[in-house]
Structure 1
Amino acid sequence: MMHQNLELLYSVNQYTQTVMNQWSASFPHRISISALLVLGELKTKGPLKQVTLANFLKVTPGAMTNIATMIVKENYAQRIYDDKDRRITRLAITEQGLELLKEARATEAKINTNLLNVLSSKEKETFLSLFHKISEQ
């Protein structure tokens, strides 16, 4: 039983590594997954403080500053200053950031589709059923 659990975890890790390797090889922009996650959060929730984004990513404020600096420099996000208190800044996604996210999602979908096309429809149903069962816990 323990061996099966380890083998299953190893297989999930291998799949994730395969996706990441194919991602790196096919996505033309040099941007971290963390930065893409930040852009996705900004798209979903609107302008946010860096501390909120650091908590979301579970990274240090310093690491979040590095991510913010990079996405602002590349014009994927912009800093918005509070009219009432200029010490308060929020990050907001730009049109260029939205385009990057769209391209990233298309690349991810293509990679996952290619990898999962080796499964039959029945295998995909089983796969989904198993993941739903695990996710419900």
Structure 2
Amino acid sequence: MEEPTIFQIINNMDKVTNNLIVQWNKVFDEDLGVSHILVLGHLMVHGNSRPSDIAKELGLTPPTLTHLSEKLVQKKLALRIRDESDRRIVNLGITDEGIATVQRANQKGVELRKNLFEKLTEEEREQLLSIYEKLGRSV
């Protein structure tokens, strides 16, 4: 058997990831994309945050974050919070419904990955775990 190239590995990893995103978008029927959930997840973990900090952390452009946050605020999943010491500063915060939405989104993601990994044998799952642990230590 021919040794796989790095390109083949990356290509197949991308296919799996993209397929999971497509499947997630189908099962998470709440008119939100993965990027919206990433923003809400950031707020859930880090609390109220400046939009520029969120954009930087998630690798998004400020205009993209503005667009995402507008929808989140409109759907009452996030809210804009003015800084009391400097009213020009506006942070983004998460609402209780936003937290519940992240939890539902995460649950759908867990179900999809569980279904995916159940297609592997126990030995294959152990190998994959070992590979991911090794890769995780090297980054």
For structure 2, which runs of at least 5 residues remain unmatched after alignment?
none
Instruction: Using structure 2 for the length normalisation, give the TM-score.
Output: 0.92
Counterpart of 1:74 in structure 2: which amino acid?
K
- Checking the alignment, whether the CA contact within 8 Å between 2:21 and 2:34 is kept in structure 1 is no
- Checking the alignment, whether the CA contact within 8 Å between 2:82 and 2:88 is kept in structure 1 is yes
Please list the CA deviations of residues 30-84 of structure 1 after superposition, one character each: whole Å capped at 9, or x if unmatched.
2121111111111111100111111112222111111111110011101111112
Please list the CA deviations of residues 107-131 of structure 1 after superposition, one character each: whole Å capped at 9, or x if unmatched.
0000001111011222111001011
Aligned partner of 1:75 in structure 2 is 76
Instruction: Using structure 1 for the length normalisation, give the TM-score.
Output: 0.93
- Checking the alignment, whether the CA contact within 8 Å between 2:50 and 2:92 is kept in structure 1 is yes
- Per-residue deviation at 1:6? 1.6
- RMSD, matched Cα: 1.4
Deviates more, 1:41-50 or 1:16-25: 16-25
Alpha-carbon distance in 2 for matches of 1:88, 1:66: 18
Give the ranges of 4+ consecutive aligned residues of structure 1 lying more than 3 Å apart after TM superposition: none
**Identical counterparts, % of pairs:** 28
- Per-residue deviation at 1:3? 4.8
Aligned partner of 1:11 in structure 2 is 12
- SS, match of residue 88 in structure 2: coil
Alpha-carbon distance in 2 for matches of 1:35, 1:97: 10
How many pairs does the alignment contain? Answer: 137
Counterpart of 1:103 in structure 2: which amino acid?
R
